[in-house]
Chain A
Amino acid sequence: MSSEDSNPAATPTPGVDTQGDGRWMSLHNHFVSNSKDKEPDVLFVGDSLVQLLYQFEVWQDLFSPLHALNFGVGGDATQHVLWRLSNGELGHISPKVVVLWVGTNNHGHTAEQICGGIMAIVQLIKDKLPKAYTLVLGVLPRGKMPNPLRERNAQVNKLVQEAVSSLPHASLLNVDPGFVHSDGSISHQDLYDYLHLTPQGYQAVCQPLHAHLKGLLEKQAEN
């Protein structure tokens, strides 16, 4: 019996259409058909932090030139990303690097469970794309002032860092440039609702990410 059975964060689960307009499945289907005629070198997959990145100029400036695809879905937790990647979104592409950014929406799950969910995704990518490198981005702090979710997210990052440290095909990159100020507060100039990034926030996150990605792609090219 695999441990995934007892970890809801690591059990592939499709999004449920609670609202009545089928948007989650529409997006998934779009990503599957998108993958049929594109040849991305980089695939970004995750939640709204990935999805929103595509809407701002920073994507055009930094990531389009790297031939990147964006499979972000707002609200997704690890189990949703796991389902999407298991059901066609990796079907027709072989990116050199997969950037995975997910975990902040895993409400009700412990840090250990969320780490388990992230690692299940890392394993799935390894199974489906044996040559790809997975770059896991650290989950950002959230909320205006210190709160339990910040602690949970920090713990997730710590656990994932430990879990990937022995893997040659994955690593964790901390992309928090220092959003938490000395008084413990986060500014709405960086996270406009204390969760989602402003264009300014994305700039601060993406410059080092872009540099790191370029390095990875160059290394992959050498292999």
Chain B
Amino acid sequence: MQNIGAVQHPCARKYSGYIDKNYPSSEAFRMSGDEMNPAAVAQAVEDIQGDDRWMSQHTRFVQECKDAEPEVLFIGDSMVQLMQQYEIWRELFSPLHALNFGIGGDTTCNVLWRLQNGELDNIGPKVTVVWVGTNNHEHSAEQVAGGILAIAQLLTSRLPKTKVVVLGLLARGEWPNPLREKNVAVNSFLRSWLPRLGHTQFLDVGAGFVHSDETISTRDMFDFLHLTAAGYRAISKPLIDLLLQILEGTPEEKRASLV
């Protein structure tokens, strides 16, 4: 079965090398002779510590899919997960019937695995927000962007009615460092690749975090990576605006529905 509905940019083809076991002929994603993009290979997290927390969280999310009818699905790493612990989630996102499937430490590979293994079953959210990539330490910026693209492709093929919003990776570290440059590069690839994919858009929520002296403040990111309540408040403004826009439909759609 072809991956219906997804437009493939030539670069994405090379870097998104994603294999969905449910769709065997998506081998077509990988051009012959090209190496698989490791950031686009689904992979569960191994229980190294000994308390199996990753799998417990995944299992809970699969169960939540059975019980809930979310309009909005958030999926990603700790940037997604931590949001739910702050007041802002209850204020702005719960009312939208949002589910939060964030797991701290997750890479694009881990998110791909979770999405292929039950976390999209029985749900039909109108919007899926994807925020992942900052933990892909083994991968280049291009590979990470390819991994995120693979996630967006998976979502649009499995949930034909969903609009995908990919959040840009934030700057990190107190001072300029290679990871900031890498995350900027990832965002740059995403900006050019994502618009070519149907039903997907890129949203940069990172404005203002890096000050004129190039530092990041602990008032925004308490450990120069994870957001404080104030940091989440700042990113939520553009995000909620976009979500409401999508959920309420475009002016054209609204007019059409009135006829």
- What residues make up the interface of A, taking CB atoms closer than 8 Å to B? 18-23, 26-27, 30, 51, 54-57, 73-74, 107, 142-145, 147-150, 188, 192-196, 198-199
Contacts and interface: CB of A to CB of B under 8 A. Distances in A.
B2 to A, nearest CB: 37
B85 interface: yes
A21 B222 contact: no
B103 interface: yes
Closest A-B pairs by Cβ, 8 of them: A143-B51, A21-B173, A144-B56, A26-B174, A21-B177, A147-B51, A21-B179, A149-B51
Contacts of B137: 18-20
Interface of B: 48-53, 56-57, 60, 81, 84-87, 103-104, 137, 172-175, 177-180, 218, 222-226, 228-229
A22 B224 CA distance: 9
Contacts of B57: 188, 193-194
Given A21-B174, A23-B223, A107-B48, 10 more contacts: A26-B174, A26-B224, A30-B174, A51-B223, A55-B222, A74-B223, A74-B226, A149-B49, A149-B51, A188-B57
A27 B223 contact: yes
Nearest to A48: B223
Nearest to B222: A55
Contact of B84 (A21, A23, A149, A192): A192
A198 B223 contact: no
B172 A193 contact: no
Contacts of B103: 193
Contacts of B52: 143-145, 147
B180 A21 contact: yes
B223 A193 contact: no
Given A21-B179, A51-B222, A55-B229, A194 B51 contact: yes
Given A27-B223, A30-B218, A148 B50 contact: yes
Q: Is the interface of A mostly helix, strand, loop or mixed?
A: loop
Contacts of A142: 51, 53
A150 B177 CA distance: 38
B85 A23 contact: no
A187 to B, nearest CB: 10
A23 B51 contact: no
A22 B50 contact: no
A19 B177 CA distance: 10
B53 to A, nearest CB: 5
B81 A73 contact: no
A19 B179 contact: yes
A56 B228 CA distance: 9
Nearest to B57: A193
B56 A73 contact: no
A209 B104 CA distance: 27
Q: Which of A27, A142, A147, A193 has the most CB of B within 10 A?
A: A193
Contacts of A147: 50-52
Nearest to B53: A194
Given A22-B173, A193-B103, A54 B222 contact: yes
A195 B174 contact: no
A194 B178 CA distance: 32
Nearest to B182: A20
Nearest to A34: B218
Nearest to A148: B50
A188 B57 CA distance: 9
11 contacts: A20-B179, A21-B173, A21-B177, A26-B175, A27-B224, A73-B223, A107-B49, A142-B51, A142-B53, A143-B52, A195-B51
Nearest to A26: B174
B49 to A, nearest CB: 6
B232 to A, nearest CB: 10
A147 B52 CA distance: 8
